[in-house]
Amino acid sequence: MGHVIRFEDYTTTDRAVLGGKNASLGELVAAGLPVPPGFAVSADAYKEVLGTAGLVGPLAEAVAAADPDAGGRARAMVSSAPLPGELVDAVRAAYAQLCRRCGRDDLPVAVRTSATCEDQPDASFAGEHETYLWVRGADAVLEHMRRCWASLFTDRAICYRAKMGYDEATAAMSVGVQQMVVPRTSGVAFTLNPHDGDRSQVAIDASWGFGEAVVGGEVTPDNFLVDKVLGEVSKRTVSSKEIEYRLTGSDRVERADVGDDRRTTPSLTDEEIKAVAALARRAERHYGCPQDVEWAIDAHLAAPDNVLLLQSRPETVWSRRPRASVSSGTAGGYMSIVNTLVSPLHTRRTASTDG
Amino acid sequence: MADRFPTPFEIETPPGAEGWQELYPYSVLFSEDRREYEESQFWFQDGVHLPTVIPPWDATFYEYAFAGLGQNNTRHYVIPPARGVDFRTLNGYAFLSPVGVDDPAEIEARVPHFMERAGYYYEHWNELYDQWMVKIRELIGEMEALHFEPLPELEPLEVITSGKGLGSGYRLIENYHRLLDHALKLWNYHFEFLNLGYAAYLDYFGFCKQAFPNIPDQAIAKMVAGIEVDLFRPDQEVKKLASLAVELGLDDAFAESSPDAVLAAVNAHPQGARWMEQFETSKDPWFNFSGGSGFYSSDKIWNENLELPFEFIAGYIGKIRRGESLERPVERVTAERDRLVSEYSDLLASDEDRQAFEAKLGLARTVFPYVENHNFYIEHWSHAILFRKMRDLGGMLVKEGFFTEADDIFCLKRDEVPEALFDLYSAWAVGTTPRGSHYWPPEIARRKRILEALRQWSPPQALGKPPEVITEPFTVMLWGITTESVNSWLAAGADGGGGLSGFAASPGFAEGPARVIQSADGIGEIEPGEILVAPLTAPSWAPVFGKIAATVTDVGGIMSHAAIVCREYGLPAVTGTAFATRTIKTGQRLRVDGNSGEVTILD
């Protein structure tokens, strides 16, 4: 059937049936980047399930009715559709293989949606669909796969498609299943300096625990600048990191205060800073444009395998501006030497050595 | 924090140094006549070239240097915002004040002259530099040809038969004048290229900083750094001699305790002649190499202190025996340099920028060999000859009873030497006794006491009120003095200590025990893995860079010797910390961060 595709087996022809999120992870794995392993259930599987159950027409009617219960009725239909045995076997086999690969039974995974509509780059569904964390066991994976499908019919998603003018008949859902990472430290990295657009730098924000603290702005992260070419840390600012998200014994992530002893300790070693920068740079090289990546240092793995890429998307702020030319408007030839001698040098030095 | 340093007029004479002013020309002293001007200026102590007390005669080179600097900036090339440096001597230490052009209209008016004059040099750099090499070698030949010999009882008959009518007394005085003329010419030549070279380098540097505001300084420097550099030749020659000694099986000779014993052992060896042949070739000129900045008559020259190069040879022999390679990683350095250029170039915004980058990098590389190499020809080779000739003259005057040792001559001001020589000449001419043999011995003893008293005194880093921002380009580039470093001096003065930070001159981290070295004499104490802490380093220290873990200096910027060599050797370096040798003690554990410029004392 080929409805279950491991990330490492991804090829670009799978993009249409895997949705943007899964395709992106598959592409990163194919590019040799260290992404936590996993697999995707294609949108064709979803379509087949709907088709076999005879739900295509009833779903369209339910959505078209546009009454307050429309979403609920549609979700109930999707949730109760029987699953073909071949699909169930394929998902179970892929999960079992993932467990073996990661060396533990009942491997906790993230199960998340990857809508094929997301292919429209101007219509990001970010946040419109579901992610289920700490899912354990094949039965639970199958159950959450259905929930993902159903989430295509949340009231918000239905409204959004209507507003954007997308054809309901083409809306389909791929599902991604990926190993959960327990990060010691995580954060984001830009392959340029977000303060001045300097493309020779990778800027890293890092803090203890799960990335929510950094992404959600709940903590002042450590900040590092790494020169891309030299590969050296060019600036470091270690902040007092007050809170972190960490794993409790029962697969729950909780917000907690960071102990005094770790608050002002750098959350990355120099080797890790360089490794994160190198990772971001590889993503940038792969896509050929500045990237905004999410990364994590896996608490259970040893260097150098512990530096993981969770997501990479194009940087949008500086990349959309026209880049200022350094040479235009400056005098040619030796006149620029005159300008150099006249203009104060101290500011230049300050830029490179403070911090 | 204070907003200014003491004025020159607040500085007192150290006890026992009364009368020190007589040891220097009246023109370099702070004085009531020029007080208003002198108090309005900012003066910094030139720790890069003259970190300690300047003996009277040695002041010649530094005075000639700054005259040459000013002349070239102001009268030759009309560098728009920078005229040069004014200089003074206070308590025996050199203080400098950059002289800029403040009026924008005047800067503007200077530009066309600069474009025409400097432009000519940039346009014809390589041929002019070739010509410079010919000139400087000619001058070196003329300096080498100067001889100071005892005055004869009778002039040779040839003086009579040639009909010249001039004898040894005249030659003696003439030769001394010629020595000074050569020195002045030398320093004119020195600045014929140097500031233009720095200006082109600064332009390239500024372009990189504008394109990549966060680019580390050392990345910019690495893209220009030369591969075959004359300044590294003495070190290469020493390695060559070490390899040859091992190859010929006479390496045991270097276990001998003195240079004479080493040479005797080499000569006694059947293969010794081959080594001696190479030794003679290497020595001339590459052992005309100073253990210091080259500005002091007391700096040890390799040729005259063979224990210095022999110690390095012995060290390299040890490395060869342990199976280590002495090769400089030339290929690696070249490959790394090419990689940096290509990757930064790729990161630029447009092809137009890439072309500008290529042009500026090209000019920086054209001018850079001079910037690196002149130091060997001027401060090392030429100064070594001139100091040697002066010592010959001093030795002659010892025989005449003027001095007790040859080096006493450096206790005379340069313009006192003709007086002494005339005293000798005129007495010799008529056959009477010169006054010098009575006058100079006690006078020199007095001067030595004064100099010793001055050496007990520590000069402030600077005098007067600093400008709000240091913009004078050469102050930043040549002396590594910036608004930040001046502020850190002021802050340290306030709390008596202050954190140690300086230029992030060569990247990397290192931890290890400190070895504080005040001069080349201490080099032998350095153990492998130690962090070298020194006022500054000299090119002749090159062999120690193979065994240390990092370098920290009191003075110097990113283009200082320590910075260049550490980048070459891949060692972390922090330069221009101002206080390292005063704050750090040998044996303390240090952490050196060559990326941020921070030095931490761990215990």
Q: What span, in angstroms and rounded, lies between the C-alpha atoms of B291 and B544?
A: 12
Check CB contact under 8 Å for B349 and A326: yes
Helix (H, G, I), strand (E, B) or coil at B514: strand
In this structure, are A12 and A150 located in the same domain?
Answer: yes
| Domain membership flag for residue A328 | no
The confidence score (pLDDT) of residue B519 equals 79
Question: What residues of A are in contact with residue B361 (Cβ under 8 Å)?
Answer: none
In this structure, are A264 and A153 located in the same domain?
Answer: no
pLDDT tens over chain A, length 355 residues:
489 999 999 998 888 888 888 888 999 998 999 999 999 999 999 999 999 999 888 888 888 877 888 888 888 999 889 999 999 999 999 999 999 998 889 999 999 988 775 444 444 443 356 788 899 999 999 999 999 998 888 887 787 777 777 777 777 889 999 999 999 999 999 999 998 899 999 999 999 999 888 988 889 999 999 999 999 888 888 999 999 999 888 888 889 999 999 999 999 999 999 999 999 999 999 999 999 999 999 998 888 889 999 989 888 888 888 888 887 655 567 888 888 888 744 334 333 333 2
Q: What span, in angstroms and rounded, lies between the C-alpha atoms of A249 and A134?
A: 12
| Domain membership flag for residue A255 | yes
For all residues of chain B together, what is the average pLDDT? 91
Q: Decide: B460 and B6 in contact? Cβ < 8 Å.
A: yes
The confidence score (pLDDT) of residue B1 equals 66
The confidence score (pLDDT) of residue B400 equals 96
In this structure, are A83 and A200 located in the same domain?
Answer: no
Please provide the DSSP assignment of B403-468 as one string: -SSGGGGGGS-TTTHHHHHHHHHHHHHHT---THHHHHHHHHHHHHHHHHHHHTS---SEESPPPS
Say which CATH number the domain at A226 has: 3.30.470.20
Average pLDDT for B207-219: 89
In this structure, are A158 and A190 located in the same domain?
Answer: no
Name residues 154-213 of chain B within 8 A of A (Cβ).
199-200, 202-203, 205-207, 209-213
For residue A343, give the DSSP letter.
S
Average pLDDT for B172-200: 96
| Domain membership flag for residue A340 | no
In this structure, are A251 and A308 located in the same domain?
Answer: yes
Least confident of A37-51, B12-26, B419-433: A37-51
Q: Is B105 an 8 Å CB contact of chain A?
A: no
| Domain membership flag for residue A354 | no
Token pair listed for A154: 């949340």
In terms of residue numbers, what domain contains A246?
183-314
The confidence score (pLDDT) of residue B95 equals 97
The confidence score (pLDDT) of residue B2 equals 79
Q: Is the pLDDT of residue B208 over 90?
A: yes
In this structure, are A124 and A222 located in the same domain?
Answer: no
Which residue among A232, A338, A345 places its CB closest to the CB of B111? A338
The confidence score (pLDDT) of residue A346 equals 36
Question: Using CA of residue B397, residue B398, residue B399, residue B402, what is the dihedral sign?
Answer: positive
- Cα angle B358, A334, B84 (rounded to 5 degrees) comes to 120
Q: Decide: B546 and B232 in contact? Cβ < 8 Å.
A: no
Check CB contact under 8 Å for B471 and A346: yes
pLDDT in tens, A255-282: 999 999 999 999 999 999 999 999 999 9
State how far the alpha carbon of A30 is from the alpha carbons of A16, A96, A180, A286, A312, in Å: 17, 22, 20, 10, 14
Average pLDDT for B470-475: 77
Check CB contact under 8 Å for B356 and A324: no
Name residues 244-283 of chain A within 8 A of B (Cβ).
270
| Domain membership flag for residue A60 | yes
State how far the alpha carbon of B372 is from the alpha carbons of A199, B341, B359, B383, in Å: 31, 20, 20, 17
Domains of chain B: 115-193+368-454 (no CATH), 498-601 (3.50.30.10)
Give kind and range of the element (H or E) at residue B541: none
Say which CATH number the domain at A41 has: 3.30.1490.20
Q: Is B511 an 8 Å CB contact of chain A?
A: no
Residue type, A232: E
In this structure, are A174 and A32 located in the same domain?
Answer: yes
The confidence score (pLDDT) of residue A117 equals 59
| Domain membership flag for residue A84 | yes
Q: Is A317 an 8 Å CB contact of chain B?
A: no
State how far the alpha carbon of B287 is from the alpha carbons of B284, B303, B305, B310, B547, in Å: 6, 5, 10, 11, 22
Instruction: Work out the burial of residue A73: count CB atoms within 10 Å of its CB; fewer than 13 is exposed, 13-18 middle, 19 or more buried.
Output: middle
Q: What span, in angstroms and rounded, lies between the C-alpha atoms of B16 and B124?
A: 54
Q: Is A343 an 8 Å CB contact of chain B?
A: yes
Q: Angle at which helices B125-144 and B168-211 pack, to 10 degrees?
A: 150
Average pLDDT for B157-166: 93
Name A11's Cβ contacts closer than 8 Å, sequence gap at least 6. A30
Q: Is the pLDDT of residue B46 over 60?
A: yes
In this structure, are A132 and A160 located in the same domain?
Answer: yes
Question: What residues of A are in contact with residue B205 (Cβ under 8 Å)?
Answer: 340, 348
Q: How crowded is the C-beta side of A131, counted as CA atoms within 13 Å? A: 13
Q: What span, in angstroms and rounded, lies between the C-alpha atoms of B402 and B413?
A: 15
The confidence score (pLDDT) of residue B148 equals 96
- Nearest Cα of chain B lies from the Cα of A119 at a distance, in angstroms, of 29
What ipTM was reported for this prediction?
0.78
Give kind and range of the element (H or E) at residue B220: helix B217-222
In this prediction, residue B515 has a pLDDT band, given cuts at 50, 70 and 90, of: very high
Domain boundary among A159, A179, A199: A179
Q: What span, in angstroms and rounded, lies between the C-alpha atoms of A3 and A52?
A: 15
Q: Is the pLDDT of residue B494 over 60?
A: no
The confidence score (pLDDT) of residue A282 equals 95
The confidence score (pLDDT) of residue B51 equals 87
The confidence score (pLDDT) of residue A129 equals 64
Token pair listed for B498: 């202050």
pLDDT in tens, B234-256: 999 999 999 999 999 999 999 98
- Nearest Cα of chain B lies from the Cα of A271 at a distance, in angstroms, of 12
- Nearest Cα of chain B lies from the Cα of A228 at a distance, in angstroms, of 9
Least confident of A122-136, A143-157, B269-283, B466-480: A122-136
Please provide the DSSP assignment of B28-90 as one string: GS--GGGHHHHHHS-EEE-TTT--SPPPTTTHHHHHHHHHHHHIIIIIIS--TTEEEEEEEEE
In this structure, are A196 and A267 located in the same domain?
Answer: yes
| Domain membership flag for residue A309 | yes
The confidence score (pLDDT) of residue A200 equals 96
Instruction: Work out the burial of residue B117: count CB atoms within 10 Å of its CB; fewer than 13 is exposed, 13-18 middle, 19 or more buried.
Output: middle
Using the structure block, give the residue that is written with the tokens 């392993």.
Answer: A37
Which residue among B199, B355, B595 places its CB closest to the CB of A233? B595
In this structure, are A117 and A217 located in the same domain?
Answer: no
The confidence score (pLDDT) of residue A124 equals 44
Using the structure block, give the residue that is written with the tokens 């200590």.
Answer: B497
Which residue among B119, B471, B507 places its CB closest to the CB of A334? B119
| Domain membership flag for residue A338 | no
Give kind and range of the element (H or E) at residue A206: strand A201-208
Domain boundary among A115, A149, A179: A179
Question: Percentage helix, strand, coil, to 5, in chain A?
Answer: 40, 25, 35
Q: What span, in angstroms and rounded, lies between the C-alpha atoms of B389 and B395?
A: 10
Q: Is B592 an 8 Å CB contact of chain A?
A: no
In this structure, are A156 and A250 located in the same domain?
Answer: no
pLDDT in tens, B342-367: 999 999 999 999 999 999 999 999 99
Using the structure block, give the residue that is written with the tokens 């490395």.
Answer: B319
In this structure, are A88 and A10 located in the same domain?
Answer: yes
Q: Is B215 an 8 Å CB contact of chain A?
A: yes
Q: What span, in angstroms and rounded, lies between the C-alpha atoms of B576 and A197?
A: 30
Which residue among B206, B340, B470 places its CB closest to the CB of A229? B340
Q: Is A323 an 8 Å CB contact of chain B?
A: yes
Looking at the structure of chain A, the number of domains it has is: 2
Size of interface A-B (CB pairs under 8 A): 151
In degrees and rounded to multiples of 5, residue B389 shows phi and psi of -65, -40
Check CB contact under 8 Å for A193 and B348: no
